[in-house]
Chain A
Amino acid sequence: MIRFEPDRSQYPQPGDDGKIEIDLETGKYLKLWHGPNHPGITGNMSVELTLCGDEVVEGKTHVGYLHRGFEKLMERRTFIQVFPIVCRVCVPEPDFNEWCYAQAVEELAGIEAPEMAQWIRTLILEMGRFNSYMMAMGGIGGALGMGVIGQWMTYVRDLMLDRFEEMTGARIYHMFILPGGVRGHLPEGFSERMEEVLQTAERYLADVDKAMFTNAVFKARTKGVGVIDPALFEPYGVTGPNARAGGVAKDLRKDAPYLVYDQLEFEVVTETASDIWARARVRRRDIDVSIALIRQILAKMPKEGPVMAKLPNVLHWKIPRGETYVAGESSRGEYGYYLVTDGSGYPRRVNVRGPSYTHAMALLEHLIPGTNIADVAALMVSLHTYPPEIER
């Protein structure tokens, strides 16, 4: 394998503190904005790159393009009014917001969602995970010049959105998981139609295996690139597939089972290399786990039963003083809601713990120096981050 090795004598040397003294006046450096409008950036954020030749010597992340102030908005809405806005915190995988918020409210208000609702919630979260991974697969393919992977995955994701549409009444922002339960039962014949989608997905994923994972170019561009030292996992708060690709078998679905995960059989997927390849593989294999889980849920879930617990009148719902943190394993890692209530009709404070905040900012800034400019997009996409959830 041919690999370009630059003449490092031309590069700036780090000082005693390990930082590089960058002097733009010397003409050795070039500032390049990667994003906010760039197909290799995952959403509305940008990385301010400082290049020396084709190597990145510094990358500063810039967020704020998508700031809508959700956490503040939530403090000005009643507990039921928060429900429609939480899904908007994370566009591609909105359901985690709905579940975390609903679960947190239920804990503080002393309400328990009925069993049927727990199963449907689990199903929704797995369908959401599946969709999220579809975007990740398409993204990593696209970032490395394989646009067709993105098209395939978008198609499969669309089929899953059809299932979301018939189940929840909406494609993207489902607004289905209410505090107290879910809004409805599964439509008639849902399982059969879901099975069709899963089979189509498996067919396309087999093609992805052939076109992307059995591909000399993809391997050359990803193996050994963008390695995250497992020692960084703890201090940088790395969770989810990014950590599992480094051999850490941590998964909240197993470690702290929520909803009905304790009644489901699945394995925690891990790889060891901790590079872009390993992260892509973990996600690819986790899709199979998700597909198996969706089938399992549909087979095991009760056929009938109430889906909503009795709520107090939501128009003046007050929740006693308290605080709680509810977290689950999203497709990107630990996703959590910290909710504080003060006995009034409004949340005192809501904090959203999205994995993208650490992965796309602190971790990326740490990883990016030394990367070839051509690999920046792949590195970024391999971290699988969603800027909307950074800016909540």
Chain B
Amino acid sequence: MGSLRDVLSPFTAWKHVIETPVTIRNPIGREAADGYRGFHQNDIEKCIGCGSCEVICQNAAIDMVPVSDPVDGDSGLRPKIDYGRCCWCALCVDVCMTGSLTMSNEYTWVDTDPDAFRFIPGVDPKPWDDLEKGYRREGGRVLTGAERVEMGELAPEARIDNFDEIVAGYTREQAMIEADRCVECGLCVATCPAHMDIPDYIAAIREGDYDLGLQILYETNPFSEVCGRVCTHKCETACAARHEGDPIAIRWLKRHIVDNVSEDRRLEIVGTPQTLPTRRKVAIVGAGPAGLTAAYDLARQGHAVTVYEAQDKPGGMMRFGIPEYRLPYAALDRDIAVIAAQGVKIETGVRIGHEITMDRLRAENDAVVLSIGLHIGRSTRIPGTEGGGVETAIDLLRRITAGEEVPVPKQVLVIGGGNVAMDIARSMARLQKVKHGAVGVTVTALEDFAHFLADREEIEESLEEGVEIIDARGPQEVVRFKSGNRKGEVKGLRSWAVTSIFDDKGRFAPQYDQGDERLHPAEMVVEAIGQAADVSILGEDLTEALDWNRGRLAVDVAGRTSEPWLWAAGDAVHGPDVITAVADGHRVAASVGAMLMAMGEVAR
């Protein structure tokens, strides 16, 4: 069996005796590979504390701990990592929504204190904080979707001659994909004025449980049809997903839920007040989002609520300020129907101060809520605004909704760069298209495009519809024909270029380049530069008695005015915004409800 070769051959191994040893003398000093997964680094400024790292960690090695005060879009929490649990898998790095969390290629660190191995990367300074090398994700976030599902919309040519709703709404498949992207961090909940349980209702969409979704919506907002369409969606600016892609289309997902629950089913799910009537009476002035939300809450607490509305139909600015192509009246009516079903009495066409006085409301009710909105358009008061051919946007929008005759000249000029300016510009464009077959609307705004007040989509859609937008123009004079058969009629708007809007102290003080003057020809000028509340309804005595804050009613945190029986809510207090008004409605209702409860039940 054995040969001589088999005996001698093994001795060749001896040649290794004269070779250099292959072992490393000092393995501690050895640098790891460039992409090594070593101790974490966290760019603390970039991190938003969404906690996705904590959720994905299979070892529960990450705790989110407070390091600063929360602000919109940042929870103020930062990941604290326990290296006794960490398995260095780097899923936290792969899922990080902002890309702030990375791993250095440092893997040796000696400390005699066991607690030292539990720290907050980026907050507790470590030697490897500035290392360039280490594990980095290839091509950004891969474990959650970064791109929003595109929303179907009417093409510009299909929508320009009508007031049909532009946005199609998601299909179930689209909504599922969009809902799937949510990481449930809850930054949106903190940012939403009404603190809607956004991740929960998005989860309900993923489960296909629209009934549950609707129930969740109604816990915080009785205006989901409205907010699902026109909400200013502050939630989306806080959304963690926006850091490496598009934010979740939270607004469209909310609408998707109401789209999928029939009106009858909604009434079944929301139900009617389950408490005995308290026989306490509350009057609410103004049937806008704040008033109706307060009415909804108070009615469900068992109080008798009457809402007085000056216009013929309830809805306030949601109906009379927002054009139908953005918010169809039928959608608004569906929301109001659920509120009315709670036993809320809505008296339309009743103008407080005319048919009923505030004194009478006070005498006949236990509490009064003032939610009168901002229905008076402000004027620039530049020369030439007095006289015909100059309108305010808010008045025109109301008249369009009410079906009243409005002037539709071939060339309209809008002053203002906010969403209301876009609303009136696009509404006029539609009317012009029908009447003249062509759009002739120019919008001049003080702000340049980089600082525009209107939503980006509003600007894009306006441009698509043929509206001309000129940025950074300061209106100086409405020019009128001085002679001829059109004498006195509007000829156009003279404007100067804007060099700056605010002074160095941040106060509104626009500066102009007078050398850059232009005349924008127009037959009508529409001012869309802001609105004011019509507080004349209060009457002189009450106006005198109340505390005021820069022309607005002064209220405490709960919305109560200086008069103990009177609360104020909505745009008139907090400025124009539907979801803020809804939140305000809840807040006021809670305060009113608490007072009524403290008063006890009326003897039967």
Contact = CB atoms under 8 A, between A and B. Distances in A.
A284 to B, nearest CB: 15
B180 A314 contact: no
Interface string B1-38: 11101110110110010000011000000001111110
A166 B32 CA distance: 8
A82 to B, nearest CB: 8
Interface stretch (A37-45, A213-221, A296-304): A213-221
Contacts of B12: 207, 210-211
Contacts of B55: 315
Contacts of A214: 5-6, 9-10
B12 to A, nearest CB: 5
Contact of B143 (A162, A166, A169, A314): A314
A310 B146 CA distance: 11
Interface in B40-57: 52, 55-56
With most chain B CB atoms within 10 A of its CB, the pick from A83, A170, A207, A215 is: A170
9 contacts: A1-B1, A148-B13, A152-B16, A155-B22, A169-B90, A173-B87, A183-B138, A211-B12, A313-B182
A26 B170 CA distance: 84
Given A169-B90, A215-B6, A316 B138 contact: no
A183 B9 CA distance: 46
B56 A81 contact: yes
Nearest to B13: A211
B7 A314 contact: no
Contact of A315 (B6, B33, B95, B138): B95
B13 A315 contact: no
A211 B182 contact: no
Contact of A313 (B87, B94, B145): B145
Contact of B144 (A85, A207, A315): A315
Interface in A287-316: 307-308, 310-316
A223 B22 CA distance: 33
B91 A80 contact: yes
B35 A184 contact: yes
B204 to A, nearest CB: 12
Interface in A308-353: 308, 310-316
A83 B5 CA distance: 50
Contact of A169 (B33, B58, B144, B203): B33
A166 B33 contact: yes
A77 interface: yes
B90 A313 contact: no
Contacts of B203: 316
A215 B206 CA distance: 67
Interface in A173-229: 173, 175, 180, 183-185, 187, 207, 210-212, 214-217, 219-220, 223
Query: Top 5 nearest A-B pairs by Cβ distance?
Result: A84-B89, A81-B58, A216-B2, A214-B9, A216-B6
A165 interface: yes
B2 A211 contact: no
A84 B33 contact: no
A316 B56 contact: no
Given A207-B13, A215-B10, A315 B183 contact: yes
Contacts of B89: 83-84, 175
Contacts of A85: 58, 87
B143 A316 contact: no
A313 B181 contact: yes
A316 B6 contact: no
Interface of B: 1-3, 5-7, 9-10, 12-13, 16, 22-23, 32-37, 52, 55-56, 58-59, 87-91, 94-95, 103, 135, 138, 142-145, 180-184, 203, 206
B5 A314 contact: no
B138 to A, nearest CB: 5
Contacts of A80: 56, 91, 143
Contacts of A184: 35, 138
A313 B180 contact: yes
A210 B203 CA distance: 66
Contacts of B95: 314-315
A88 to B, nearest CB: 8
Interface in A69-119: 77-78, 80-85
Contact of A187 (B35, B182, B206): B35
Nearest to A311: B143
A12 B182 CA distance: 71
Nearest to B23: A155
A144 B219 CA distance: 75
Given A173-B87, A315-B183, A210 B138 contact: no
A311 B91 contact: no
A332 B261 CA distance: 58
A175 B90 contact: yes
B201 to A, nearest CB: 14
B35 A313 contact: no
Contact of A223 (B1, B35, B183): B1
Contacts of A152: 16
Given A148-B16, A169-B37, 9 more contacts: A166-B33, A175-B37, A187-B34, A215-B10, A216-B1, A312-B180, A313-B144, A314-B143, A315-B143
B188 to A, nearest CB: 15
B29 to A, nearest CB: 16
Given A170-B36, A216-B7, A219-B2, A312 B56 contact: no
Contacts of B13: 148, 207, 210-211
B267 to A, nearest CB: 31
A373 B34 CA distance: 48
B138 A312 contact: no
Contacts of B144: 313-315
B98 to A, nearest CB: 15
Contacts of B182: 313
A313 B206 CA distance: 11
Given A84-B89, A166-B35, A314-B56, A307 B138 contact: yes
Contacts of A314: 56, 95, 143-144
Contacts of A162: 33
A294 B116 CA distance: 42
A165 B138 contact: no
A316 B52 CA distance: 11
Contact of A170 (B2, B58, B88): B88
Contacts of B94: 183
Contacts of A312: 145, 180
Contacts of B5: 214
Given A169-B37, A211-B13, A220-B2, A316 B135 contact: no
A170 B37 CA distance: 6
Contacts of A308: 142
Contact of B56 (A169, A173, A311, A315): A315
A166 B138 contact: no
Contacts of A77: 58
A84 B7 contact: no
A59 B3 CA distance: 35
B241 to A, nearest CB: 10
B52 A315 contact: yes
A185 B91 CA distance: 17
Interface string A161-173: 0100111111001
B59 to A, nearest CB: 8
A76 to B, nearest CB: 9
B82 to A, nearest CB: 15
